[in-house]
Structures are given as structure tokens and as C-alpha cells.
């Protein structure tokens, strides 16, 4: 596991630097005027109601969504010429880790090693060691040979985190890793993230509910309707989601689709 | 029967059946992983147009089939990549366009249905030496790329977003799988025929994944089933035709044998999965309350016959809708 900050000589050098970022999806501006600077070793959470652009922001920061305007540099390199993908660990928002074919836990985690492996070369001893230690860190070493489909949702989320860990990155993006995860698994997850943070990794976490992760957070960024509305010390999640949108109804980008769980008549607790 | 095996045409047929059976499931596994099991069928139908073009223009139908199937694969990948049409609908369009085009052009070529039928249902026993080299060469390409790039192809099919952020050329690998699928279709065309091509790619995977727990085991098992069904099906067809004077086409025999493998492994897979589900530990949630069971004349233990499921730091015995955990002299209802 690599744990060195982005540049040891400058401990506070910006790892992510987004200026005037905007993302347009299908002709509709989704993110506007977003400035975000994350320094090495910071633990930042992105909060905001559904459709506020949290996931879109993370997708823009990882290069999955092109910026319609603005500039983004990662580790001091403009995104267009950024090639050090092994420094990024990405945990996408997913229902699970399973696919159409049985897949063992170790195979999923080993695929995270591809940020460092190239071409037809077989896995080296270092590759295997990194996979084992990633499994240890999320507490699933004893399940390595099992099919991921037999794991619970929370355990599958931990597999995806181990996959991101396996490449030994120093910047992590996690998109809703605790959604639908039971408390013991959330605690296991918090333990793994704490260890990473302690080791100097930079962490950007999108979440609805912090739960056991709350004590780890250095800084909170709140998005609303595609704009940054708060950037500072951690807030209670209720502040982030409650006070900023007192109007009734939703103002997000989901066109009129209301989930059966959503109530219009009371404040939604995320 | 032994004499039949000495015939050069039969030896060529056996070799073709073996390498097709080895190569087809490799690509089939990636298609199943992407939930695109029917892509092979779509490409098979497109290849019908390719064969017909060959018959019409006088080129070798195998090469025109490769060219048209690869074009079809690129087209469907482009449609999928843009996301304008669902993969499902794009496949359907491919099916109908390919088959209609093929039948129409064959009519123009005035070759009639008989020639086309050789390609639709396979004619493994009429394979020539040059066909064998063609089959061996392309099968080698499929196996080397399909297994050599396994980590990359696996990762891209497993999670595209992750693969992109890992710096993999997702579009390139997707295109590679589609093109390899097209090549597989034309390789298997002579063995089982275009209409059954996809079966040789998919059915061995379906059989293998009943018992496998990992991707590598699935692909290995699928290759074994494919090769076994290829050779076995051909031998069964030859035996029935030779000894019992029945007209048994090798292509369908190969596919039915692969299906028989699935039918054999499926119940075992169902049993294994059910057992796994029943043995899964109960989540350990902190609770304050528990119910003490008073009268319980049965003594639970490792050999009492009730499933003992791990639950936190102890086990729960499961019977009649109860979860009983031993607690001193009595049992708790968990």
C-alpha cells in the first residue's frame, strides 16, 4: 500500500484543483461554477440532496465526465495529460460487485491492480501481496475464494474498496460507499478508511449519511442544484440537507420521478 | 467406425470440432459476463449476409463472412457506446437485417438454398485443408487474445467506470471483444452452422458456471465442456450415421451434447447455491432484547440435525422458523 503524500517536499500541495468547473449532460448544465481544491491528506465529504450533482462532480474529477468549461488538475497535472492513473482509487456507486459470471472476491480485488500492470505481463509477487493486504485491510481475507454473489451488500461494498486499495493509490474517490450497508459493515468500512487516512491518503467521499464515518471528516463541501453552497469544517448532515432547502418539493434533475419512499409533506432525512 | 476415423476428412472434422470447441467458449464467457449472450446470434445472422456476398461475388464465403461479421460487430459496439439504442434493440435489428440480406443476396446469386444451408447448419465433414488452416489460425488468435488479455477484458466487462479510471482503454477493449466474437462466429460457422454458432459460445459457459466460484474456473470449465462437446458430438453423429444408418448432422449433435452438460450440472448448481444460502451467517446486530424459551425438550448440538448458522460470536440452531441460541441452561430466541 503506497501511503506517501503527493509530493513529500510540499505536504500541503493541492491534489485536486478544479477551477470554474461546469458539466453539461444532454444539453442541460448540471454543475456550474464549481471551484474545489483538495490538499494532500485531506478527508473531504461531498454532501447534498439527491440530484445536487455530487456524483457528477466525482465523475468529473475522475475524468469520466468531460468538463464543459473550467480547468482541472490532478497532482499538479492538467487532466488531459494526466497518466498516473495508479495514484487514483475509485469506488463507483454500484449496487454490488457481481456480474453475469461467477467471480471470486480475489479476482475482483486483483482487477484493481491493473492500474499498475500493463499488457500481457502476468501478475508479479508484488501484485499478489498488494491484493492480499487490501483484503486484510477490509477484513475479507477469509472470503477471498468465495463468489462475490454470495456476499452481503455491505461486504460487496468492502470488496470494491479493496479493489481500489489494491492499486496502492494515494487519492481515493468513494461514491456512496455506505448506501444500503448495515451498521457492522459501515464500521468495518470506517476502520479501513481511518487506516488509509492515517497513512496520509487523500479521500473524497460522497455520501448521504456519514454514520460511523463522521469522526474521520476534515472538511465538508455541500452542493445544491449543481452549485457549491458550503465549503468548510464538518457539518451535521441535517444542516447540510435540511436548512438549505426549506421550500417544499424537490429541485433536482430527475424529471418528475418521485420514488415511493419520498414524502412531500415532511422533511426528507437522508 | 474405426475405419471412418482413419479417413482424412473425418480427422480434419475432428480437429475443426476440437479447436472450435476450445475457442468459442473463451469469448462466450466475456459475452455472458456483459449479459450479451445473444450477441453471437446477432453476429451469426449478419454473417449470413457475408456468406451470401461471397457466393454472389465469387470470393471465398469464409472471408466475406469474417469481413461482414466484423463490420456488424463494430456497428453494434458503436450503437451501444453511444447509448442511443438499447443493446437489446440493436441486436434485434442486426438479426433481421442480416438474415433478410443473406437470403435475398443468395437468391440474386442463383445459388439456391442448398449452398446457403451448408453455412446455416454447418458441414464439418466437407472441410478442406485450407479451411483447416483458416480455422486453426483464427482459433489461435481468439485463444491467445482472449486468455492473454483476461485481466483487462475481465475488468472492462466487470465495471466500465472503474476500468476507465484505472486508465484502461475501455472503448478499445469493448471493440476487441466484439471483433473477436465476430471472428469466433465465422470460425464456428463450418462446425455447427451460423444458426447454432452462439450455442457453442454460450451453452458451455452456462454449464460451467453452475459449479464454478471464480471467473477463471468458469472460463476453464467452459473450454473443457466446449472441446468435449465438439469432439463428442461429432463422434456421436458419426457413430449413429455409420452403425445405425441414421442421418445425424454433427452440428446439432454438438450443441445438444453441450446442452446435456448444462442439464447435468444445473441441479448440482441449484443444490450448491441453496446450501450456500442456508449456511450464510446471520448479521450480528447489537440488540438489547431477547426472548428466553422456557420449555424445550430438544437438546441442540453439533449433531442434532438442525443447521447451525454462525451469528456473531455464537451459533443459532434453525428449526421450524425459530433461531435458537444456547444460553446457559436455556435457549434464547434470536
Cell numbers describing residue A144: 477471498
- The answer to which of A11-15, A30-34, A66-70 has the lowest mean pLDDT is A11-15
What whole-number distance in Å separates Cα of residue B157 and Cα of residue B329? 54
> Residue range A123-128: average pLDDT?
85
**Is the Cβ pair A167, B166 closer than 8 Å?**
yes
- Give the gap in angstroms from C-alpha B193 to the nearest C-alpha of chain A: 26
Cell numbers describing residue B13: 472434422
Contacts of A172 in chain B (CB under 8 A): none
* 8 A C-beta contact, residue B39 and residue B202: no
Residues in chain B whose Cβ is within 8 Å of chain A: 29, 32-35, 37, 148-149, 151-152, 154-155, 157-159, 161-168, 205, 209, 212-218, 276-277, 280, 283-286
Which positions ≥6 away from A203 have C-beta within 8 Å?
A42, A43, A44, A171, A172, A174, A193, A196, A197, A216
pLDDT at residue A108 in the model: 94
pLDDT at residue B272 in the model: 86
pLDDT for A140-193, tens place per residue? Answer: 899 999 989 888 888 888 899 999 999 889 999 999 888 777 888 888 888 889
Q: Is the dihedral of CA B297, B299, B304, B305 positive or negative?
A: positive
Please, where in chain B does CATH 1.10.3470.10 lie?
A: 2-275
Residue pointed to by grid coordinates 465526465: A65
> pLDDT band for position A237 (50/70/90)?
low
Cβ of residue A85 closer than 8 Å to a chain B Cβ = yes
Packing angle between helix B87-109 and helix B61-82, nearest 10 degrees? 150
Maximum average pLDDT range among A1-10, A12-21, A103-112, B77-86 = A103-112
Domain B2-275 in this protein, CATH class: mainly alpha
> pLDDT band for position B83 (50/70/90)?
low
What whole-number distance in Å separates Cα of residue B72 and Cα of residue B94? 8
Q: CA-nearest residue of chain A to B147?
A: A120
**Is the Cβ pair A107, B149 closer than 8 Å?**
no
| Straight-line distance from the first to the last Cα atom of chain A, in angstroms, rounded to the nearest whole number | 33
Domain A14-243 in this protein, CATH class: alpha beta
Maximum average pLDDT range among A2-16, A247-261, B137-151 = B137-151
Q: CA-nearest residue of chain A to B144?
A: A120
**Is the Cβ pair B165, A90 closer than 8 Å?**
yes
**Is the Cβ pair B165, A94 closer than 8 Å?**
no
Task: State the average pLDDT for chain A.
Answer: 81
Q: CA-nearest residue of chain A to B157?
A: A99
Cβ of residue A79 closer than 8 Å to a chain B Cβ = no
Residue pointed to by grid coordinates 464515518: A213
Task: State the average pLDDT for chain B.
Answer: 87
- Report the run of H or E that residue B63 belongs to, with start and end: helix B61-82
Counting one residue from chain A and one from chain B, the pairs whose CB atoms sit within 8 A come to 103
Contacts of B217 in chain A (CB under 8 A): 102
Cβ of residue A94 closer than 8 Å to a chain B Cβ = yes
pLDDT at residue B125 in the model: 81
**Is the Cβ pair B167, A115 closer than 8 Å?**
yes
Residue pointed to by grid coordinates 497532482: A75
- Give the gap in angstroms from C-alpha B180 to the nearest C-alpha of chain A: 17
What whole-number distance in Å separates Cα of residue B308 and Cα of residue A120? 46
* 8 A C-beta contact, residue A183 and residue A154: no
Amino acid at each position: 500500500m503506497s501511503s506517501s503524500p503527493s509530493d513529500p517536499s510540499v505536504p500541503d500541495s493541492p491534489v485536486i484543483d478544479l477551477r470554474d468547473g461546469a458539466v453539461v449532460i444532454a444539453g442541460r448544465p448540471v454543475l456550474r461554477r464549481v471551484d474545489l481544491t483538495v490538499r494532500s491528506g485531506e478527508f473531504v465529504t461531498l454532501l447534498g440532496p439527491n440530484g445536487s450533482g455530487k456524483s457528477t462532480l466525482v465523475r468529473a474529477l475522475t475524468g469520466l465526465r468531460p468538463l464543459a468549461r473550467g480547468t482541472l488538475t490532478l497532482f499538479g497535472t492538467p487532466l488531459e495529460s494526466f497518466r498516473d492513473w495508479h495514484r487514483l482509487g475509485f469506488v463507483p456507486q454500484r449496487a454490488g460487485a457481481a456480474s453475469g459470471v461467477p467471480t471470486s472476491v480475489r479476482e475482483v480485488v486483483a482487477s484493481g491492480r491493473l492500474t499498475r500492470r500493463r499488457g500481457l505481463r502476468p501478475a508479479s509477487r508484488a501484485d499478489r501481496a498488494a491484493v492480499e493486504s487490501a483484503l486484510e485491510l477490509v477484513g475479507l481475507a477469509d472470503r477471498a475464494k468465495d463468489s462475490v454473489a454470495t456476499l452481503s451488500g455491505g461486504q460487496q461494498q468492502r470488496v470494491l474498496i479493496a479493489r481500489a486499495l489494491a492499486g496502492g493509490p494515494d487519492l481515493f474517490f468513494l461514491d456512496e460507499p455506505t448506501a444500503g450497508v448495515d451498521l457492522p459493515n459501515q464500521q468495518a468500512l470506517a476502520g479501513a478508511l481511518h487506516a488509509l487516512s492515517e497513512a496520509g491518503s487523500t479521500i473524497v467521499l460522497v455520501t448521504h449519511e456519514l454514520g460511523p464515518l463522521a469522526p474521520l471528516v476534515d472538511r465538508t463541501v455541500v452542493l445544491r442544484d449543481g452549485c457549491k453552497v458550503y465549503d468548510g469544517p464538518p457539518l451535521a448532515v441535517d444542516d447540510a440537507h435540511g436548512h438549505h432547502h426549506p421550500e417544499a418539493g424537490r429541485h433536482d434533475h430527475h424529471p418528475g420521478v418521485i420514488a415511493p419512499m419520498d414524502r412531500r409533506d415532511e422533511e426528507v432525512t437522508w | 467406425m474405426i475405419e471412418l476415423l482413419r479417413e482424412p476428412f473425418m480427422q480434419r472434422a475432428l480437429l475443426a470440432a476440437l479447436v472450435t470447441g476450445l475457442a468459442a467458449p473463451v469469448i462466450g464467457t466475456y459475452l455472458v459476463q456483459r449479459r450479451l449472450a445473444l450477441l453471437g446470434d446477432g453476429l451469426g445472422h449478419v454473417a449470413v449476409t457475408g456468406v451470401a456476398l461471397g457466393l454472389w461475388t465469387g470470393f471465398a464465403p469464409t472471408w466475406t463472412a469474417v469481413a461482414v461479421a466484423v463490420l456488424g460487430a463494430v456497428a453494434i459496439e458503436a450503437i451501444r457506446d453511444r447509448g442511443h439504442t438499447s443493446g437489446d434493440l440493436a441486436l434485434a435489428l442486426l438479426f433481421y437485417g442480416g438474415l433478410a440480406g443473406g437470403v435475398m443476396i443468395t437468391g440474386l446469386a442463383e445459388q439456391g438454398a442448398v449452398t446457403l444451408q451448408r453455412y446455416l447448419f454447418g458441414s464439418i465433414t466437407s472441410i478442406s485443408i485450407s479451411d483447416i488452416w483458416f480455422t486453426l489460425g483464427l482459433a489461435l488468435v481468439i485463444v491467445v487474445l482472449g486468455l492473454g488479455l483476461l485481466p483487462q477484458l475481465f475488468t472492462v466487462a466487470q465495471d466500465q467506470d472503474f476500468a476507465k479510471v484505472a486508465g484502461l482503454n475501455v472503448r478499445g477493449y469493448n471493440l476487441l471483444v466484439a471483433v473477436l466474437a465476430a471472428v469466433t462466429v465465422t470460425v464456428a460457422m463450418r462446425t455447427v452452422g451460423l444458426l447454432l454458432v452462439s450455442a457453442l459460445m454460450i451453452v458451455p459457459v452456462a454449464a460451467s458456471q453452475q459449479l464454478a466460484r471464480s471467473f477463471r474456473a468458469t472460463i476453464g470449465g467452459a473450454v473443457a465442456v466446449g472441446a468435449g462437446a465438439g469432439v463428442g458430438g461429432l463422434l456421436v453423429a458419426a457413430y449413429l450415421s455409420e452403425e445405425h444408418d441414421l442421418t445425424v448432422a454433427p452440428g446439432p449433435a454438438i450443441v445438444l451434447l453441450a446442452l446435456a452438460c448444462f442439464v447435468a450440472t444445473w441441479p448440482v448448481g441449484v443444490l450448491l447455491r441453496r446450501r450456500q444460502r442456508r449456511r450464510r451467517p446471520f448479521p450480528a446486530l447489537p440488540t438489547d432484547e431477547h426472548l428466553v424459551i422456557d420449555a424445550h425438550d430438544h437438546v441442540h448440538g453439533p449433531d442434532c440435525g438442525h443447521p447451525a448458522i454462525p451469528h456473531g460470536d455464537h451459533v443459532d440452531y434453525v428449526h421450524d422458523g425459530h433461531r435458537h441460541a444456547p444460553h446457559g441452561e436455556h435457549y434464547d430466541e434470536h
